Amino acid sequence: MQRSIATVSISGTLVEKLSAIRAAGFEGVEIFENDLLYFDGSPADVRRIADDLGLKIMLFQPFRDFDGVSPERLARNLDRAKRKFDVMHELGTDRILVCSNVSPDTLCDDSLMIDQLGALARAAAAAGVIAGYEALAWGKHVKTYRHAWKLVDAVNHPSLGLVLDSFHTLSLNDTPEAIADIPGERIAFVQIADAPKLAMDVLEWSRHYRCFPGQGDFDLANFTAQVVKAGYKGPLSLEIFNDGFRAAPTTITAADGHRSLLFLEEQTRALLEQQSQPQKTTSELYRSPAAPAHVGYQFLEFAVDHTTRAQLADWLGKLRFRQAGQHRSKDVTLYQHGAASIVLNAEPDSFANAFFQQHGLSLCASAFRVDDASQAFERAAGFGYAPFSGQVGPNERVLPAVQAPDGSLNYFVDERPDQPTLFEADFVLTDVNGPTEVGPLERIDHVCLSVPANALDTWVLFLRTALGFLAEPGVLVPDPYGLVRSRALRSPDGSVRIALNASVDRHTAVAEALHTYHGSGLNHVAFRTSDIFSAIPEFVADGVPILRIPRNYYDDLAARYALSDTLLEAMRANHILYDRDERGGEFFHAYTEQLDQRFFLEIVERRGGYDGYGAANAAVRLAAQAQRRK
């Protein structure tokens, strides 16, 4: 399908927007009226710029408050419409979006509206254009696509069609299935927007919190599937009102928009194929290599120098990580504990070294174990993520990789039974037959990243598109100095979990970490254990600095949960926090203190199928960390 985006969706001047939109791969664009009004040139100039870029102007919008008016107002509106049609001719587009009336004095009379929309259709026909009528979710009389279609169908004129907008449908919890019964040729245009589910006024919700497909909570695949079933052959166009997008870099936002439409088409195709729809129905939808069915952590790689390597190695040693190997050709050391592998990279003149120069001690790469590394790489590259290739020594493994939104690397690793493992190929291993002692940690449970507020949605889209992760609803966590917005994602099999933390407030822990890193950075790594009450005393005895939790927290636990005095005392003594889900699953976890005001580590034990992250305890942890920073 053709892919389009409204100019209102991204930041910049009109020329900057058009250039970024085309560079991102869009075939078409909606010109938002304000962008044209603020442009120092004629509509014909805009058309020439678009033509030079190879960009088609698909729609001009919006045209407001036309229907449900007095005869005197109708005459003025028709004159206004004819002037807009003249602008459309200069722009070189044949479609205009007409919004349902939101004025309090709208005349709520279907018969009157049908007559007035008929007059608009005849005027559009005389001008050789098509008017698309859209139901705004906050319209005075017409709020739903069904109502809008009833009016358009009654007019029954080829120059009046229906405009569908996913936000206006799904924000009202309306079901989109009836769209499939609308003749595709009567659908003039389709606009797409995702959004987080929020309990707020729908107008404010629409004007500030729309986002790209895959970044919110709407079931856009089902909405789009109904559009495809209807036989619609026009473009899918993004219309996003979002304060963050309007302040974010133009090219990055445009690129995210394009890949979000690819992702939506992929999801829609999968849904239609599950429903055994004919192949011709899905033939125009994007198909990418399948996302990895199984994903695991192969290793986490830290950029270090000699000083910070010794510092981090000391921490790892206290957590019973053993030095498991030295890279064959680089100044890179492998540490392992259970199934968790950590790599410290101090190689000069390398990617890690450049990353260290910019960010200091930091997580510079994550390697994911997948079934087919080449296929995983092709998928990520197909969504437009930049490939990376580094220096490889003789007989060392070539790892396909792409750059994440912060410039760090994501490697893809597959292990074959007839070949040496990655660590056997690239490292001189200390224990060829594996570790001689088993520690209390089993594997990496999850990783949490601190990211700029305007990059959170970009990260969500990266993990969903490149890796096929599933997103969980976002949560707000109180920090002593503001609010932290958190969003967790996981691989389909749940083996890899990544949480993203962001804050617009200047003095939260996340904001201070971003300042320290000069950008995004690791917030913490959580390691799983099956016996946290044995693990924490061992780590403390070895010198691991555990974050102290206030006694009042445990007094509150005693009031909220029916926990035994013995258990409460063990948690209090070891500074272990507790959470319980509605099914009775339990979560015990403890934190180390921060390393150099950058990141910390977490030890977790899950019982009874608990599947969360202890979000209820985040505020306690943030307060305890804030006290330690002072």
Asked whether the CA dihedral 340, 540, 484, 630 is positive or negative, the reply is: negative
In this structure, the answer to whether residues 353 and 222 fall within a common structural domain is: no
Q: Which of 390, 407, 429 is at the close of a domain?
A: 429
Give the pLDDT confidence score for residue 596 in this predicted structure: 85
Does residue 40 belong to any structural domain of this protein?
A: yes
pLDDT at 356 over 70: yes
pLDDT at 297 over 90: yes
Does residue 157 belong to any structural domain of this protein?
A: yes
Give the pLDDT confidence score for residue 435 in this predicted structure: 56
Q: Which of 373, 402, 429 is at the close of a domain?
A: 429
User: What is the identity of the amino acid at 384?
Assistant: G
User: What is the identity of the amino acid at 390?
Assistant: G
* Region 4-27 average pLDDT: 98
- State yes or no: 265 annotated in a binding site: no
In this structure, the answer to whether residues 274 and 301 fall within a common structural domain is: no
- Distance CA(248)–CA(6), nearest Å, equals 16
- Distance CA(438)–CA(338), nearest Å, equals 7
In this structure, the answer to whether residues 425 and 478 fall within a common structural domain is: no
Give the pLDDT confidence score for residue 278 in this predicted structure: 80
pLDDT band at 433 (very low <50, low <70, confident <90, very high): low
- pLDDT above 90: percentage of residues in the chain: 92
Is the peptide bond preceding residue 62 cis, with omega within 30 degrees of 0?
yes
- State yes or no: 625 annotated in a binding site: no
- Distance CA(218)–CA(174), nearest Å, equals 11
Q: Determine contact, residues 501/484, Cβ cutoff 8 Å.
A: yes
Does residue 289 belong to any structural domain of this protein?
A: no
> For residue 355, what is the domain's CATH number?
3.10.180.10
In this structure, the answer to whether residues 120 and 161 fall within a common structural domain is: yes
In this structure, the answer to whether residues 490 and 611 fall within a common structural domain is: yes
Give the pLDDT confidence score for residue 361 in this predicted structure: 98
HSE-up of residue 237 (Cα within 13 Å, Cβ side): 31
- State yes or no: 134 annotated in a binding site: yes
- State yes or no: 165 annotated in a binding site: yes
- Distance CA(272)–CA(554), nearest Å, equals 51
pLDDT at 532 over 90: yes
- State yes or no: 72 annotated in a binding site: no
Does residue 449 belong to any structural domain of this protein?
A: yes
- Distance CA(99)–CA(469), nearest Å, equals 36
| 193-221 per-position pLDDT tens digit | 999 999 999 999 999 999 999 999 999 99
Coil/strand/helix, residue 540: helix
In this structure, the answer to whether residues 447 and 418 fall within a common structural domain is: no
In this structure, the answer to whether residues 220 and 263 fall within a common structural domain is: yes
- Distance CA(40)–CA(38), nearest Å, equals 6
Does residue 288 belong to any structural domain of this protein?
A: no
| 113-141 per-position pLDDT tens digit | 999 999 999 999 999 999 999 999 999 99
- State yes or no: 512 annotated in a binding site: no
CA distances from 154 to 63, 130, 142, 551 (A): 21, 16, 14, 70
In DSSP notation, 159-220 reads TEEEEEEHHHHHTTT---GGGGGS-GGGEEEEEE-B-----S-HHHHHHHH-B-TTSSS--H
The answer to which of 26-30, 241-245, 403-407 has the lowest mean pLDDT is: 241-245
In this structure, the answer to whether residues 163 and 207 fall within a common structural domain is: yes
- Distance CA(402)–CA(414), nearest Å, equals 15
In this structure, the answer to whether residues 397 and 450 fall within a common structural domain is: no
Matching residue, tokens 């006290």: 627
The three-point CA angle 213-274-272 to 5° equals 50
Structural domain total, the chain: 3
CB-count exposure of residue 315 (10 Å: 0-12, 13-18, 19+): middle
Alpha helices in 394-438 (DSSP H): 422-426
The alpha carbon of residue 164 and the mean position of all alpha carbons in its chain are separated, in whole angstroms, by 24
Q: Which residues contact 374 (CB under 8 A, 6 or more apart)?
A: 400, 412
The alpha carbon of residue 304 and the mean position of all alpha carbons in its chain are separated, in whole angstroms, by 29
In this structure, the answer to whether residues 94 and 224 fall within a common structural domain is: yes
Give the pLDDT confidence score for residue 395 in this predicted structure: 77
Does residue 434 belong to any structural domain of this protein?
A: no
In this structure, the answer to whether residues 269 and 303 fall within a common structural domain is: no
Does residue 436 belong to any structural domain of this protein?
A: no
**Two tokens at 531?**
């016996």
> For residue 199, what is the domain's CATH number?
3.20.20.150
Residue 131: name the closest of 186, 211, 92 by CA. Answer: 186
Does residue 285 belong to any structural domain of this protein?
A: no
Q: Which of 429, 461, 494 is at the close of a domain?
A: 429
pLDDT at 332 over 60: yes
- State yes or no: 538 annotated in a binding site: no
- Looking at every residue in the chain, the average pLDDT score rounds to 95
The three-point CA angle 237-242-245 to 5° equals 85
The alpha carbon of residue 530 and the mean position of all alpha carbons in its chain are separated, in whole angstroms, by 32
In this structure, the answer to whether residues 401 and 470 fall within a common structural domain is: no
State the pTM of this model.
Answer: 0.94
Q: Range of 114's domain?
A: 3-280
